[in-house]
Amino acid sequence: MGEEIIVVGCGASGGTAAQFARKTSRNANVTVFEKSKYPQYSKCALPYLISGKISGPEKLIEFSVEWFNRAKIKLFLNSTVTGIDDKKVYVKKNSEVIVKEYDKLVIATGARSAVPPIKNILDKNGELKKGVFTLRTVDDAIKIINYIGDRKRNALIVGGGLIGLEVAEAFYSRKLNVTVVEMLPNILPSMIDEDMSRELYDQLSGYIDIFTNHMVLDVEGDDKVESVRVKNNGNGEEFKLPVDVLVISTGIKPDVDLARSIGCKIGEKGGIVVNRRCETSVENVYAVGDCTEGRDFVTGGSFPVGLGSIGVRQGIVAGVNAAGGDMELFDGFLQTRTTRLFDVEIAAVGPVSAVLDDDVVSGKFRGSTHPEYYPGGSQVVVKVLCNKFDKRIVGAQVIGKNAAQRINTMACALLHKMGVDDFIKLETAYAPPIAPTIDPLAAACEVANMKLRRRN
Amino acid sequence: MGEEIIVVGCGASGGTAAQFARKTSRNANVTVFEKSKYPQYSKCALPYLISGKISGPEKLIEFSVEWFNRAKIKLFLNSTVTGIDDKKVYVKKNSEVIVKEYDKLVIATGARSAVPPIKNILDKNGELKKGVFTLRTVDDAIKIINYIGDRKRNALIVGGGLIGLEVAEAFYSRKLNVTVVEMLPNILPSMIDEDMSRELYDQLSGYIDIFTNHMVLDVEGDDKVESVRVKNNGNGEEFKLPVDVLVISTGIKPDVDLARSIGCKIGEKGGIVVNRRCETSVENVYAVGDCTEGRDFVTGGSFPVGLGSIGVRQGIVAGVNAAGGDMELFDGFLQTRTTRLFDVEIAAVGPVSAVLDDDVVSGKFRGSTHPEYYPGGSQVVVKVLCNKFDKRIVGAQVIGKNAAQRINTMACALLHKMGVDDFIKLETAYAPPIAPTIDPLAAACEVANMKLRRRN
């Protein structure tokens, strides 16, 4: 008889944990309980479902029920784990209650959207007012699509982060007038520095209206949203915007009720605390994905995990370990992240300057994908952050073609604590139709390096 | 009075050495002697001059005479260094002889094309027969362009390496019938493995004829090339091909006469031996670029430097050191390389399997640029080579979109001796319109890792 491994939640990290448990042990019994009716699908793709780029919800499924069957993983959909007790999970599936014992438990309960305290955002029943949405699930996306129909005109997004701007683009492609309101002075504030954000702002503001350093005070309309009152944080001025559909995109709140109920330690960011093996503070219980909090590789500080790339890697590690393997994540997360907005690719790794201390020096370079002499190059802007004492790279931000692939190289450099002075010696691939001899990444490192030399 | 730094040769590595000497010391006198009439230009771009993608020779210039003037670097064109003696260089510039003392000398004399012993390839004067060319300089490219004119029809390239195939593409875009003859069983033999080469072969053979495992025996035609006799190395069969223009692209021969004359050690590959500071065996004499030989980071073996990316980095290091700075290259070269052929991007880092020993295991993955659910992805094929004992990555090859940027990440991983088991934990950038959660690079590493796990 194999060990009983139970995974709670079939999002990207839970599903991955189940898969890698199966890969690691052929004898283990792997069971997944998922509260929704969907098997593992991509949450990050929801904005592209709204835009129509992805044609329907069924396309989002990454691993189907049949796939799980073939892999001999028992997947229960519409199955909510209501309690855990004495190494048993209690599951409600329709009117039925399933009780199942586990040897190892993987909690992958995800997160909910955080809703900021905006006046009148809720109706009398404490639900989001009609026309106000959050976006976490396929069902959320379908509700939004149905609500917009062909008649809605004015969309407003609260929050100028990654998802907020992706939804803004999706609405734009559905021919809505789109406004984004961001409380902080710049868009993508947890991804790129203010100067880099301005580069992007200029490119996006041809398509959508963006109010940074503004906040939504009040949602107006009786039975549904009709307008909002917005305040300029700088000068205090207030104004009204007509709004047919409002999407809240101001971050997530980890779903930790189950974990807390069995005594798992919850961290300062509200997520389940896990070690490098994805073990919680409770024996035989792992946790992965958006319900956990991570440790930043550079600062050592905690952050709520909200990236699929991290969740999937946690899933791999938890799955392998739950099935008797031995795998450990690196000592902190790099938080590599990317998006494409109106054909502009943006990518970053490591913390932004604002959360780093004064020991950091930056190098910024505006270069081209191609050598100057070769036609067809396009602009790439790179900013590199490094520690001013040991020169090691602690962050990088790229706007331009292939930003994501470029940032992967910086992620590898950051992980290995490579210095900006060493980076310029890294042989990057060079060919006239592809890249210059000194890549823009290296050129930005050299700018930082020169600053440091001048200091000494 | 500043030190006298003399650079012999204004190719990419010599020019870079001069620039970084200037950057490092404001007081140094930096002088460059270049035998041709051109200031620093891109040799790698010559195929694109032939194709017409780059409109004229003047466009190839990366740093103009005016640029060198502004940088206060004395650049002498049409100036051949004929001898070096007692810390003096003797330079012939037209009918004039310049004698100049140096404190530090940087030799950047480059290389010539190697010409294989093909019967009747030379005319009675020992020159290449009319219609037969090598491609090393702008003047070579101009000669080829002029010779082709509008009337030549059949082009043959000897050598299916990087430059040979780039020239093949250039000829194709000039509407010639193009044949490539490669002696070894696969194209790009020093860049990618045989299986990867086949992937590429299939994509190129729609445009050009490629005979691998064949050799050119004889160049036929009285005063100019009219046909060649080709032999199949496999079955010994011979056949004749009509040829109007023939380009030899079978490697380079380092130009080391000057260096040898002053006692610089010449290595087994015929290049000047330099250490990590780009110092030759003679005090105060540095050497950079194609006249040197390098040490492979993985195998430790010597190879003739033929890559601009290496030459430029040697130039930086030699320039900095010659001017009193202190800089050292890594302990060996990664040989990161890339090209684009008929819109297929290919990139590689580290040695190919054929030159590695049996201690290597490979992982190959055929993936997509995008997650499966997102439309518009294109195929990416990745092969990773790793040491079977410590799992460290020793080579990688990519065919597909953004191959070069992908290989840069692998170059960074290879440099840091990262294991395939660790690579899968590296957080690569993920977003539906850009890349899957597990990048094809990581997937290939996981394939290798699984093979290794099964062995144990």
The helix (H) or strand (E) run that includes residue B311 is helix B308-322
Phi, psi of B123 (to 5 degrees): -90, -170
Per-residue pLDDT at A453: 85
> Which of A408, A409, A434, A438 is best to mutate for the B interface (most B CBs within 10 A)?
A408
Tokens in use for A318? 């938890």
- The β-bridge partners of B229 are B218, B240
Structure tokens at A300: 């050592």
Alpha-carbon distance of B337 to A125, in angstroms, equals 63
- Residue A246: φ, ψ to 5°: -125, 130
Average pLDDT per block of 10 residues along chain B, 456 residues long: 93 97 96 97 96 94 96 98 95 95 98 95 94 97 95 94 97 97 96 96 95 97 96 97 97 97 97 98 98 97 95 98 97 97 97 92 97 94 97 98 97 98 97 95 96 80
Number of other residues whose CB lies within 10 A of the CB of residue B146? 8
pLDDT, residue A76, reads 98
The residues that bridge with B338 in the sheet, in sequence order, are B347
**Residue A229, CB half-sphere, CA atoms under 13 Å: how many?**
10
DSSP assignment of A66-124 equals HHHHHTTEEEESSEEEEEEETTEEEEEETTEEEEEE-SEEEE---EEE-----BT-B-T
Whether residues A425 and B309 touch (CB distance < 8 A) is answered with no
Measured between beta carbons, which residues in chain B are less than 8 angstroms from residue A335? Answer: 427
Tally C-beta pairs within 8 A across A and B.
218
User: A446 contacts in B (CB within 8 Å)?
Assistant: none
Three-class SS state of B225: coil
Answer whether B419's CB lies under 8 Å from B393's CB: yes
CA-based end-to-end distance of chain A: 66
Beta bridge partners of A209: A179
pLDDT at B456: 59
Q: Provide the 10 A C-beta neighbour count for residue B368.
A: 17
Question: Would you say A93 and A78 are in contact if contact means Cβ atoms under 8 Å apart?
Answer: yes
Strand B344-349 and strand B337-341: the pairing is: antiparallel
The answer to whether the beta carbons of residues B326 and B320 sit under 8 Å apart is yes
Cα(B163)–Cα(B366) distance, rounded to whole angstroms?
A: 26
Q: Which residue of B has its CA nearest to A56?
A: B373
Q: Could you tell me which residues are beta bridge partners of residue B100?
A: B89
**In the beta sheet, which residues pair with residue B96?**
B93
B405: nearest CB among A335, A402, A416 = A402
ipTM score here?
0.96
Contact yes or no for A318/A326 (Cβ under 8 A): no
Residue ranges and CATH numbers for the domains of chain A are 4-111+253-322 (3.50.50.60), 115-248 (3.50.50.60), 345-449 (3.30.390.30)
Determine how many CB atoms are found less than 10 A away from the CB of residue A164: 24
DSSP state of A252: E
- CA dist A138 and A59 (Å) reads 11
- Which one of A12, A312, A337 has the shortest CB-CB distance to B429? A337
Q: Which of residues 37-56 of B touch A (CB under 8 A)?
A: 42, 44-45, 48, 53-54
Q: How far apart are the first and last CA of chain B?
A: 66
Q: Residues 6 or more apart from B333 whose CB is under 8 A from it? A: A427, B294, B295, B296, B297, B303, B305, B310
Q: Do A411 and B427 touch (CB under 8 A)?
A: yes
Q: Would you call B405 and A408 a contact, using CB atoms and an 8 Å cutoff?
A: yes
Contact B408 A406 (CB under 8 A): yes
Task: Work out the average pLDDT over A96-103.
Answer: 97
Tell me the average pLDDT across A202-223: 95
Residues in chain A within 8 Å Cβ distance of B402: 402, 405
| B291 is annotated as an active-site residue | no
Q: Tell me B106's DSSP state.
A: E
Give the three-class secondary structure for B209.
strand
Question: CB distance B428–A418 less than 8 Å?
Answer: no
Contact A31, A69 (CB under 8 A): no
Cβ pair A188, A165 in contact under 8 A:
yes
For B406, the closest of A337, A339, A405 (CB atoms) is A405
Encoded tokens for A33 = 């309980």
**Best interface-test mutation with B: which of A405, A407, A409 has the largest number of B CBs within 10 A?**
A405
**Sheet of A104-107, strand order:** A73-76, A29-33, A4-8, A104-107, A285-287
Distance of CA A219 to the CA centre of its chain: 27
pLDDT band at A456 (very low <50, low <70, confident <90, very high): low
- From chain B, the residues in CB contact with A412 under 8 A are 409, 412-413, 416, 418, 426
d(CA A28, CA A380): 49
Determine, for residues B430 and A308 on separate chains, whether the beta-carbon distance falls below 8 Å: yes
Rounded to the nearest angstrom, the gap between the alpha carbon of residue A73 and the centroid of all alpha carbons in its chain is 27
Separation CA A71–CA B423 (nearest Å): 25
To which residue do tokens 């997530």 refer?
A: A252
Mutation target among A373, A384, A398, A449 for the B interface, most CBs of B within 10 A:
A373
Burial category of A96 from C-beta neighbours within 10 Å (exposed 0-12, middle 13-18, buried 19 and up): exposed
Q: Which residues of A touch B415 (CB under 8 A)?
A: 426
A427 in reach of chain B (CB within 8 A): yes
pLDDT (tens digit per residue) in A45-78:
999 999 999 999 999 999 999 999 999 999 999 9
| pTM (predicted TM-score) | 0.96
Q: Nearest CB to B432: which of A42, A335, A412?
A: A42
Write out residues 387-406 of A within 8 Å (CB-CB) of B: 402-406
Q: How confident is the model at residue A2 (pLDDT cuts 50, 70, 90)?
A: confident
Residue in the block written with tokens 């659910």:
B373
Which of A255, A322, A263 has its CA nearest to residue A85? A263
Q: Is A256 on the interface with B (CB under 8 A)?
A: no
Searching chain A, which residue's CA lies closest to the CA of residue B397? A429
Label the pairing between strands A227-232 and A238-242.
antiparallel
Smallest CA–CA distance, residue B60 to chain A, in Å, is 6
Q: What integer best gives the mean pLDDT of chain A?
A: 96
Q: Decide if B93 contacts B37 (C-beta within 8 A).
A: no
| Measured distance CA(B36)–CA(B49) in Å, rounded | 18
Show which of residues 333-372 on chain B sit within 8 Å of chain A, judged by CB atoms.
Answer: 333-340, 345, 347, 349, 371-372
